[in-house]
Amino acid sequence: MNTFNNDKAFVFIVGSPRSGTTILGNILDCHQKVSQWFEPYFVWDHYFRHYPHDERNEKEMTPRIKHQIYSAFLKFKKTTGSKIIVDKSPRNSPKIPFILEIFPHARFIHVLRDGRDATLSIHKEWNRIKRIVHTPNQKFAYLKDLPGIKNWLQKQPFFSDKMKSLWFETHYNFIDNSKYLNRLRWKGNIGWGPRFKHWEEIFNQCSLLQFNAHQWLNCVENVKKNWAEIPNGNKIEIKYEDLLRKKSKIKEIIGFLGVKTDDRFLHSIPELKRDNYNKWQKELLREQAHSLVHILTPLLIELGYETNYEWPLRISSCQR
């Protein structure tokens, strides 16, 4: 186990949900020497299904947990035959010390996105999940949601992982969706994304949009807090907006992984929406923006996305 840990085969993309982690994972997965393992929560949280939040530290590691997670990643690598395995999981953002206990030489890519755009996108996804999961009588509408179930399971390339993922989500409570992990994670509510410490207190005190802003804030701050623990040379930080606008960023990341960029790879990557930023200026209401100012602005300024607290005034007056 120690010998295998000395290489850099495992790469973890961290950052807030809806910050470009998915598109970057999909891009890297196009490389013939790279395979993405799409959010294997059933591996990371196998022993933490009933925990109240998603933050983990090195003190929670045990030999049994380390063996379980390490063995699963090693099996996935051997089965794919890939040189590099990429795990794109926003819920890993508050787990960096925990991950380093298992993979001390792992590499990390932190994807940053303007917190206003990320919050808006998290909010949309949260509401989409609510529409899918919610049924008044708590009974799962299989025929209605079959396409969603199929799409979710297809993200795991191997049958055994599909079954582990399904079992982890339902624990075979196929009929009563009030016992599904989604509701278990959110104390009976329907939720989505990472849970931070004391999330329930904030959830009960603010609007859903404000809570989504706290999710962005917590993910970024957790990564920043633990960034120094990652060895130099094993980490890189990029902005989503740069990934969209600068093709050189993809080559930079591929170089960071230690594999070569070739024409086959460059022609296979998905098309990027080059203008997919500053959407908050068109889609946020000015009232909503004002409700987010004190949550988002300090970190927006620190990251270089903003210079002051007056940004809601840039929203069109017709969106008041």
Q: For residue 234, give both structure tokens.
A: 């094993």
- Answer whether residue 3 shows pLDDT above 60: no
- Answer whether residue 19 shows pLDDT above 60: yes
Helix (H, G, I), strand (E, B) or coil at 86: strand
What pLDDT shows up at residue 147?
64
* Average confidence (pLDDT) over 118-137: 80
C-alpha dist (Å) from residue 152 to 49, 157, 162, 186, 278: 19, 11, 9, 20, 29
Please give the residue that has the higher pLDDT: either 128 or 70. Answer: 70
Residue located via tokens 């049924």: 135
Give the single-character DSSP code of 309. Answer: S
Answering whether pTM is above 0.85, one says yes
Q: For residue 60, give both structure tokens.
A: 């929670």
- Give the range among 30-34, 56-60, 188-192, 254-258 with minimum mean pLDDT: 188-192
- Reported as a single tens digit per residue, the pLDDT across 153-164 is 778 888 888 888
- Reported as a single tens digit per residue, the pLDDT across 218-248 is 999 999 999 999 999 999 999 999 999 888 8
User: Strands (DSSP E) along 62-173, which ranges?
Assistant: 84-88, 107-112
- Answer whether residue 255 shows pLDDT above 80: yes
DSSP string, 211-245: HHHHHHHHHHHHHHHHGGGSPTTSEEEEEHHHHHH
Measure the CA–CA gap between 54 and 39, rounded to whole angstroms. Answer: 14
Q: For residue 125, give both structure tokens.
A: 């996804």
- Hey, which of 63-72, 130-139, 268-277 has the most confident mean pLDDT? 63-72
- Name the band, by pLDDT with cuts 50, 70 and 90, for residue 179: low
Cα 25 to chain centroid, rounded: 10
Measure the CA–CA gap between 299 and 219, rounded to whole angstroms. Answer: 12
* Average confidence (pLDDT) over 16-36: 94
Helix (H) or strand (E) holding 281, with range, is helix 280-283
- Name the band, by pLDDT with cuts 50, 70 and 90, for residue 141: low
Residue located via tokens 């999330």: 199
Burial classification of residue 169, based on how many CB atoms lie within 10 Å of its CB (0-12 exposed, 13-18 middle, 19 or more buried): middle
What pLDDT shows up at residue 2?
46
